[in-house]
Amino acid sequence: MQQALAVELRVCTKCRASYRDARLSVCPRDGAPLTMWEEDPLIGQVVGGRYQILEPIGQGGMGSVYLAERLPDELEVAVKIVRPEHIGNPTVHERFLREVKHTSAISSPHVVKIFDSGMSDDGRAFMVMERLEGETLTERLRRPPGLRPVEALHVARDIARALAAAHAAGVIHRDLKPDNIILCRDGTVKVVDLGIAKALIPEDKHKVAEPSLTEAHRVVGTPAYMAPEIITKEGLYPASDLYALGVILYEAMVGEPPFYEKDAIGTMYRHIHEAPKRLREVDPGLDIPGALETLVRDLLAKSAADRPADANDVVQRLEALMRMARDHARRGGQAETGELTKVWSPKDRISSPDGEPRRPSKLKKRLFVVLAAALLALVLGFGATAVLIYFIGPSTSDAVQLPSD
C-alpha cells in the first residue's frame, strides 16, 4: 500500500518537493513543472536498521529527505540522506556531520529536532529528524495575501527565540532565510537546515573559529539575506543572523526584501552601500507603529555593533509590539500606535510572473548597480569569472559560494 501511494506522487523538477494533488501541474513553491514520481530504489528499504523509507519529501544539492517510519513503534520521522553521487565526497560528508552536530546542540522548540544519525549500508550518511507538517515561509509569503503584520511579528519572535537558543549553544546559523523556516500546521515555527552553520569560539561567544581552507576564499550564504560583514569577509557574528532576521521581517511585512537584484553581486552591493527604504515608504497603506520601523532599522544596521545586543533583546522588542497589537485589538479602533492587523490585498505585493519578489527600477539605476557591483567584485577579489557566472543567477534562492580567485 505504501508503495502504491508513492507512485501517485508528482515531483517538482527544480526543488524536488513532492505532492499528491493530481490537479497540480506546477510547483506551488517555485513554479517549476511537476513530473510523475519515478521509482526510487530507496523506497521500502530500511536505513540504519530501523527506519523504513516510505516516500520522498524533497531534495537538495547535498541530500534527499524522505518520510520514514521508525520500527517497531511506527513513529513517522523525516530521514535526510546523502545523495548517491556524493558517496565518498569529504566536503559533503563534513557538512552533513556539521549539520548533525550543530542542530543536536541546540535545545529549542523552534529548531528542528534530530533523533538519530548514522551511515547506511551503502556508505551514505543520514540523519533522522522530527517530521514537520506545514509549509516554508517562502511558500506562505508567495501565496496572497501573505502574512498579516501581527502574524509576521509572531513568526519573527519565534525565529528570534531559535537564534537565542542557537547562539547560547555556540552556533551561528549563517543561512537564515524563508526557505529554512517551516510554519507548522499546529502554529509552531521551526528553523531548519544548519548545513553551513559555524561554531562560536567557546571562550568568546561573539566570534567564530577560523574558516576552513575551502571557505577562506569564499563568501558563503544566500545573497538576499547576507549581512554586510559576511560579504566583505570582515567577520561572522551572532549579529549576522540578526541581520538576516531583519531582512525576513522586512520581507514578511511588505512582500519584498529590502535589497534585491536579479544577480547576486548586485544584491550584495546594495547590502553594503544602500540604506533600506522605510516599510511605509514601500507600502504607504501599511499602518504600523514607529517602534516597528525602528526595530527593522536596527536589525539592518550596516555595522554588526549597531544592531541589537542579542537575540533575546529582539525577542523582548517583538513581544512588546505583539502586546501593543493585542491592546489595540481589544480597544477595537484606530490608535496612535497604528493598526497591526491590516491584511494585504494581492495588488499591494510586488511580484514578478514567476513569483519572485522584485523592486521596480529604472534602466539608469540598474546600469549603475551593475557597474558598481562589478567594481565591488573586483575589490573583494571575486574575479571576472565570478561576476559573469553569478550575474545570471537568482539572488534570493540557493546559497552561493563566490570564489575569490
With a threshold of 0.95, does the pTM exceed it? Answer: no
pLDDT tens by residue, 27-55: 877 778 887 766 678 999 999 999 999 99
Question: Degrees (nearest 5) of the Cα angle 289, 290, 294?
Answer: 130
- Alpha helices (H) along 222-381: 228-231, 238-254, 264-273, 279-282, 290-299, 311-331, 363-380
How far is Cα 262 from Cα 354, in angstroms, rounded to an integer? 13
Kindly report the length of the chain.
405
- The SS3 assignment for 66 reads strand
pLDDT at 380: 53
Backbone angles phi, psi at 78, to 5 degrees: -110, 130
Question: Grid coordinates 569577509 are at which residue?
Answer: 233
Q: In the 3-class helix/strand/coil scheme, how is 203-251 assigned residue by residue?
A: CEEEEECCCCCCCCCEEEECHHHCCHHHHCCCCCCHHHHHHHHHHHHHH
Q: Residue 312, SS3?
A: helix
Give CA–CA dist 125/94, Å, rounded. 10
The yes-or-no answer on residue 175 being catalytic is yes
Q: Where in the chain is the domain with CATH 1.10.510.10?
A: 134-403
Architecture of domain 40-130: 2-Layer Sandwich (3.30)
| Main-chain phi, psi angles of 323, to 5 degrees | -65, -40
pLDDT per residue, tens digit, the chain (405 aa), is 333 344 467 777 777 677 777 778 888 777 788 877 666 789 999 999 999 999 988 877 788 999 999 998 999 999 999 998 999 898 888 889 999 999 999 999 999 999 999 999 988 999 999 999 999 999 999 988 889 999 999 999 999 999 999 999 999 999 999 999 999 999 999 999 998 899 987 655 555 554 543 454 567 789 999 999 999 999 899 999 999 999 999 999 999 999 988 889 999 999 999 999 999 999 998 888 999 999 999 999 999 999 999 999 999 999 999 999 888 778 765 444 444 544 333 334 434 334 444 443 434 344 444 445 445 554 455 443 333 323 323 334 444 444 443
- The CATH T-level fold of domain 134-403 is Transferase(Phosphotransferase); domain 1 (1.10.510)
Distances (CA, A) of 210 to 98, 199, 213, 216: 15, 10, 9, 8
d(CA 152, CA 324): 14
SS3 at position 135: strand
Which segments of the chain belong to CATH 3.30.200.20? 40-130
Identity of residue 231? I
List 158, 175, 179, 310, catalytic entry:
175
The secondary structure of 270-282 as a DSSP string is HHHH-PPPPHHHH
The closest alpha carbon to 244, from 307, 294, 193, belongs to 307
Tens digits of residue pLDDT in 366-402: 444 444 544 555 445 544 333 332 332 333 444 444 4
